[in-house]
């Protein structure tokens, strides 16, 4: 096999297998040319490695998707726990339609920043803040104990506009200073009950 064809084959195999084929495996393939069935061996090797790479990629995407869905389910449960029995029935539908998809986007954006092996270290806190506390839940790195995201809901009372619940989150990137808005839900002109009541 000429040098140019070998290099081309090496590059194609590297691209197709996302690095799952090492140069030594490629050299074994090239050395197989001394045997009569070289082309069939190469084609089978490339096909097998492509199938392996595709399977690993799908498995990886599936694991990440499963992780995110589980995290989102826990986030929803923590939110309902915070709302309590008096607030939840009033805002539950709007929360599902407006806020939850934005929480999902924030979680996906955060998950994309971490290698897959680090995702397993991300956990959700289990106790929302009571009373007038803004805390709904935090996403933290269980290994380091540091918060990655902090999801909050703040009561707002603009003049002559009744009460609103403003959902937002903070990130470790700016030391939790910036507000990343998730949306607002109108309560009523009357003062809302305390959280978890």
The per-residue pLDDT for range 59-83, each reduced to its tens digit, is 556 777 888 899 899 999 999 999 9
Number of compact structural domains in the chain: 1
Question: Residue 92 falls within a domain, yes or no?
Answer: yes
Which pLDDT does position 117 carry in this prediction?
80
Question: Residue 55 falls within a domain, yes or no?
Answer: no
Mean pLDDT within 85-110:
95
Range of the domain at 143: 85-188
Predicted confidence (pLDDT) at residue 160 exceeds the cutoff of 70: yes
Which pLDDT does position 87 carry in this prediction?
96
Sheet holding 135-141, edge to edge: 122-124, 135-141, 147-156, 163-171, 180-188
User: How far apart are alpha carbons 146 and 123 in whole angstroms?
Assistant: 11
Question: Residue 22 falls within a domain, yes or no?
Answer: no
| Residue closest to 107 by CA, chosen among 134, 138, 77, 135 | 138
Question: Residue 13 falls within a domain, yes or no?
Answer: no
Question: Residue 136 falls within a domain, yes or no?
Answer: yes
Hey, what are 25's tokens? 């495996």
Instruction: Detail the DSSP E strand segments found in the chain.
Output: 122-124, 135-141, 147-156, 163-171, 180-188
Which pLDDT does position 96 carry in this prediction?
96
pTM over 0.85: no
Residue 192 has φ and ψ, to the nearest 5°, of -70, 155
How many residues would you count in the chain?
A: 197
The per-residue pLDDT for range 6-17, each reduced to its tens digit, is 555 556 665 555
Question: Residue 15 falls within a domain, yes or no?
Answer: no
The per-residue pLDDT for range 162-191, each reduced to its tens digit, is 999 999 999 999 999 999 999 999 999 999
Question: Residue 71 falls within a domain, yes or no?
Answer: no
Question: Residue 48 falls within a domain, yes or no?
Answer: no
């Amino acid at each position: 096999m000429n040098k140019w064809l070998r290099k081309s084959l090496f590059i194609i195999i590297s691209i197709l297998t996302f690095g799952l084929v090492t140069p030594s495996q490629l050299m074994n393939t090239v050395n197989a040319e001394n045997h009569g069935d070289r082309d069939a061996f190469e084609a089978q090797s490339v096909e097998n490695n492509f199938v392996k790479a595709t399977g690993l990629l799908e498995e990886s995407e599936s694991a990440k998707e499963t992780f995110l869905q589980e995290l989102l389910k826990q986030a929803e449960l923590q939110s309902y726990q915070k709302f309590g029995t008096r607030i939840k029935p009033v805002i539950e539908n709007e929360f599902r339609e407006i806020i939850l998809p934005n929480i999902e986007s924030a979680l996906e954006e955060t998950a994309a920043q971490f290698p897959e092996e680090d995702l397993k270290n991300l956990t959700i806190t289990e106790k929302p803040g009571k009373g007038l506390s803004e805390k709904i839940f935090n996403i933290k790195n269980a290994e380091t104990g540091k918060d990655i995201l902090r999801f909050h809901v703040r009561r707002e009372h603009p003049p002559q506009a009744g009460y609103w619940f403003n959902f937002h989150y903070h990130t470790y990137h700016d030391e939790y200073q910036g507000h990343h808005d998730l949306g607002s839900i109108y309560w009523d002109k009357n003062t809302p009950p305390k959280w978890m009541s």
